[in-house]
């Protein structure tokens, strides 16, 4: 089916109510409406303010280490060579090389600069894999702000290293025992804290989820990934990439890569969800593949839910993808048929984790491994030598213990 043509371009979303088509919006308690309006106003003002931009750009360069390389993965590409000599040209956008090891810091840094200007002295955040918690604890240390991180107890166990890193940098990590003790529960607790302490506190939400303006604002702080990719592609080979591939939890690394290409209809956009133990089991996190529209954490989007609309717990071997919701812009891009979404299982991701380590000497995060794994499905379907850019969203140091245990290596 052709891409639908809305009256504004696909990249011009959301509208003034924070809606991407029928998705997004603000489904929050009355007490938060004022804080969301304040945040929207502050963001609209500062995003184009030269001083704010100068400070952000300097920190992205000197503190985060941007621009990240667009690396040609030669041995990984060779794996998919065809008998006729053609082979996909696979490039990795190296977000794993950012300070703190993932793309999360692009957003945490932008939001902490906003919080400072809004006069908020206390920062809270939710975290799953711990990468967003670490990024938030890092920028709070850098700016001397009080920092409270909500984390599910199950995730605290499987990401013990990141818990230690957050505490080392002075953050308080609050264990969340509710539900399955994962990201959904941590997010609910963070929202509860915000409702109570909204006068003094800024909530640094970690993905393109939650109520407006978060999905838009987090996208704007992450689009640096796609903008750099675009410039690097033009410089390296003088054309846009043919395919962009990224893993999707809440969807921020994927949107960050996709967004500057959304109006370039020749560029295929592919997001990969976590199929856990399989999308036909009840242990997966394939929200767009298996969910239905509903409200979770303040926004209308696809959600994993039962027939009564109760949220179904998600499952993934990677804590960062273990979320029953998805950013509203992805639901919109799916409905508009602009982006494609597929899923890969825990086992496929574990295989890809080892494969990239052995072929390229790069240990990817388990989240990232989902995108890498999909190459085995995608590449045999391609003809010629298309250029594929994969968002290497994070490094796998945090996951080596989990993987060692699963592979019975320790």
Residues that bind ligand PLP (CB under 6 A): 102, 104, 129, 131-132, 207, 247-254, 320-321, 365, 367-368, 393-394
Give the residue with the Cβ less far from ligand PLP, 254 or 382: 254
Q: Please return the burial class of 118, using the count of CB atoms within 10 Å of its CB with bins 0-12, 13-18 and 19+.
A: middle
CA 194 remoteness from chain centre: 22
CA distance 131 to 109: 13
Give the residue with the Cβ less far from ligand PLP, 311 or 392: 392
Is residue 47 part of the annotated active site? The answer reads no
Q: Name the minimum Å distance from CB 96 to ligand PLP.
A: 7
| Closest CB to ligand PLP: residue number | 394
Is residue 120 part of the annotated active site? The answer reads no
Q: Name the minimum Å distance from CB 376 to ligand PLP.
A: 19
* Residue 104: Cβ within 10 Å count: 32
Backbone torsions φ then ψ of 136, nearest 5 degrees: -70, -45
Q: Name the minimum Å distance from CB 70 to ligand PLP.
A: 17
* Residue 237: Cβ within 10 Å count: 13
Place of tokens 């950013």: 327
Q: What are the C-alpha distances in Å from 246 to residues 321, 353, 368?
A: 12, 15, 7
Q: Of residues 252, 301, 318, 393, which has the active-site annotation?
A: 393
Q: Of residues 93, 95, 104, 220, which has the active-site annotation?
A: 104
- Read off the tokens for 287: 């929200």
Cβ atoms 282, 288 nearer than 8 A: no
Q: Name the minimum Å distance from CB 132 to ligand PLP.
A: 6
Q: Name the minimum Å distance from CB 275 to ligand PLP.
A: 15
What are the respective helix, strand and coil percentages of the chain, to the nearest 5? 45, 20, 35
Cβ atoms 132, 125 nearer than 8 A: yes
Give the residue with the Cβ less far from ligand PLP, 291 or 394: 394
Cβ atoms 365, 96 nearer than 8 A: yes
Give the residue with the Cβ less far from ligand PLP, 267 or 365: 365
CA distance 70 to 231: 10
Q: Name the minimum Å distance from CB 287 to ligand PLP.
A: 11
Give the residue with the Cβ less far from ligand PLP, 129 or 378: 129
Q: For 275-329, give the DSSP string.
A: EET-TTSS--B-HHHH-EEEEETTEEEEE-B-TTSPBPPP--SSGGG--S---HH
Q: Name the minimum Å distance from CB 125 to ligand PLP.
A: 12
Give the residue with the Cβ less far from ligand PLP, 269 or 382: 269
Q: Of residues 95, 126, 228, 329, which has the active-site annotation?
A: 126
Give the residue with the Cβ less far from ligand PLP, 274 or 311: 274
Please name which of 376, 324, 304, 323 lies closest in space to residue 347, comparing C-alpha atoms. 376
Give the residue with the Cβ less far from ligand PLP, 69 or 384: 69
Q: Please return the burial class of 307, using the count of CB atoms within 10 Å of its CB with bins 0-12, 13-18 and 19+.
A: exposed
Is residue 334 part of the annotated active site? The answer reads no
Largest CA distance in the chain: 64
Q: Name the minimum Å distance from CB 50 to ligand PLP.
A: 29
> Which residues are known catalytic residues?
104, 126, 393
């Amino acid at each position: 089916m052709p891409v639908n043509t809305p009256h504004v371009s696909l990249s011009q979303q959301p509208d003034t109510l924070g809606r991407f088509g029928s998705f997004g919006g603000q489904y929050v308690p009355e007490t938060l409406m004022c804080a969301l309006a304040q945040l929207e106003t502050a963001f609209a003002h500062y995003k184009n303010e030269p001083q704010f931009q100068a400070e952000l750009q300097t920190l992205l360069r000197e503190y985060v280490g941007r621009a990240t390389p667009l690396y040609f993965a030669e041995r990984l590409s060779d794996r998919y060579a065809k008998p006729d000599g053609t082979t996909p040209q696979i490039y990795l956008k190296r977000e794993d090389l950012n300070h703190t090891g993932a793309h999360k810091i692009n957003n945490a840094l932008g939001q902490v600069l906003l919080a400072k200007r809004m006069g908020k002295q206390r920062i809270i955040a939710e975290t799953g894999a711990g990468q967003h918690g670490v990024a938030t604890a890092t920028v709070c240390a850098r700016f001397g702000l009080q920092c409270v991180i909500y984390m599910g107890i199950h995730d605290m166990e499987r990401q013990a290293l990141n818990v230690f890193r957050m505490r080392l940098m002075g953050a308080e990590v609050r264990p969340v025992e509710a539900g399955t003790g994962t990201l959904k529960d941590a997010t609910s607790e963070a929202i509860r804290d915000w409702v109570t302490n909204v006068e003094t506190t800024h909530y640094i939400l970690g993905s393109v989820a939650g109520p407006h303006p978060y999905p838009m604002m987090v996208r704007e702080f992450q689009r640096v990934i796609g903008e750099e990719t675009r410039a690097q592609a033009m410089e390296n080979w003088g054309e846009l990439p043919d395919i962009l591939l990224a893993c999707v939890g809440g969807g921020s690394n994927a949107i960050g890569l996709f967004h500057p290409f959304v109006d370039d209809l020749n560029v295929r956009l592919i997001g990969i969800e976590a199929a856990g133990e399989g999308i036909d089991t009840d242990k997966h996190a394939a929200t767009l593949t298996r969910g239905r529209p509903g409200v979770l954490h303040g926004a209308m989007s696809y959600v994993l839910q039962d027939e009564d609309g109760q949220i179904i717990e998600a499952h993934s071997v990677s804590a960062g993808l273990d979320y029953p919701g998805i950013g509203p812009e992805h639901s919109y891009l799916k409905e508009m048929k602009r982006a494609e979404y597929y899923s890969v299982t825990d086992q496929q991701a574990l295989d890809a984790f080892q494969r990239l380590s052995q072929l390229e000497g790069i240990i990817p995060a388990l989240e990232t491994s989902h995108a890498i794994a999909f190459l085995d499905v995608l590449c045999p379907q391609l003809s010629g030598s298309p250029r594929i850019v994969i968002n290497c969203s994070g490094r796998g140091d945090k996951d080596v213990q989990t993987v060692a245990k699963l592979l019975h290596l320790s």
